[in-house]
Amino acid sequence: MRALIIKHDHLSTPGYVGERLAQRGYVLDELLVVPEDRFTDPGVGCTFPEVEDFDLVVALGAPWSVDHTDLIGPWIAPELTLLASAHARGIPVLGICFGGQALATALGGRVERSPRFELGWTNIHTDARWLVPDGPWFQFHGDRWVLPPGAWEIARNDVASQAFVHGRSMGVQFHPELTSETLAAWLAHGGDAMARKLGLDPGELLARTREEAQAARLRAHLLVDAFLALSDSDSSPARPAPTSHPAEIERSGNGHDGT
């Protein structure tokens, strides 16, 4: 089995999500969209592979906004096409933060600015704890998605929708993949200044992330396992009921939702 991992920048890694996919038998094919030497000038061209060559797609985060086509126009349109094509073919897509916003946009939703920037460990309210536990999850975003038609929101907080499912695909606004090494890289490349602007101590954020490492890895692994169970189902899930077991999720019986 092959998983396409879309890395939008050199600082983002599949972390705990990639670790669990590998444990579950997936070969990870990582595609770096913006090379390190173009990090401050991300309007590069990128040749995306044929999506039918993969069994699963993971779109990771990015420091840019999906709708900032003046910055990332050369590659965001082809990526949205790839995500829409994968979903339409029944190839599961897991979108994380920017990747979740891109997935929502590809399926007919859009992106807007959040009422406030979220940075740090937070709890969320979830309707499907078997799929997305309450957390805490690490947040690092100033945008949020507007749900695409046919999507079911399964988690949220007072700032943004935090998770949705659409057919065999899922978007999450938080970062289940995050490791302390990745956060250290983010802080060293602008995150430190952002944290201080928000009145946060970067050192405390990193220390908390190290403290959370074992539990965060477990939560991420459980999320990946549940996502794979969701994507392996024979019919698309309808609105998840508040439950702790996947067998209790209602089924629509309408087959795969394409776009």
- Judge whether 46 counts as a catalytic residue: no
Structure tokens at 218: 């477990």
Give 211's contacts (C-beta < 8 A, 6+ positions apart).
none
Q: What is the pLDDT of residues 164-207, one digit of tens each?
A: 999 999 999 999 999 999 999 999 999 999 999 999 999 999 99
Q: Which of 19, 79, 177, 212 is catalytic?
A: 177
**Lowest mean per-residue pLDDT among 1-5, 103-107, 244-248:** 244-248
- The tokens of 211 are what? 């403290």
Q: How far apart are CA 23 and CA 112, in angstroms?
A: 36
Whole-model pTM: value is 0.89
State the catalytic residue, choosing from 141, 166, 175, 221: 175
87 belongs to the catalytic site: no
Give me the catalytic one of 97, 141, 166, 221.
97
- 175 catalytic per annotation: yes
Q: Do β-strands 27-32 and 125-126 pair in parallel, antiparallel, or remain unpaired?
A: unpaired
Going by C-beta distance under 8 Å and a sequence separation of 6 or more, which residues neighbour residue 192? 202
Residue 193: its pLDDT value, please? 96
| Mean local confidence (pLDDT), 65-93 | 97
pLDDT of residue 232: 79
Question: To 5 degrees, how large is the angle CA 66–CA 70–CA 74?
Answer: 75
How big is the CA angle at 38 (ends 119 and 202), to the nearest 5 degrees? 25
Instruction: With beta carbons less than 8 A apart as the criterion, state whether 125 and 157 touch.
Output: yes
Please provide residue 144's backbone torsions phi and psi, each rounded to the nearest 5 degrees: -150, 160
- The per-residue pLDDT for range 249-259, each reduced to its tens digit, is 222 222 223 32
CA distances for 79 relative to 26, 46, 59, 114, 135, angstroms: 22, 9, 9, 23, 29
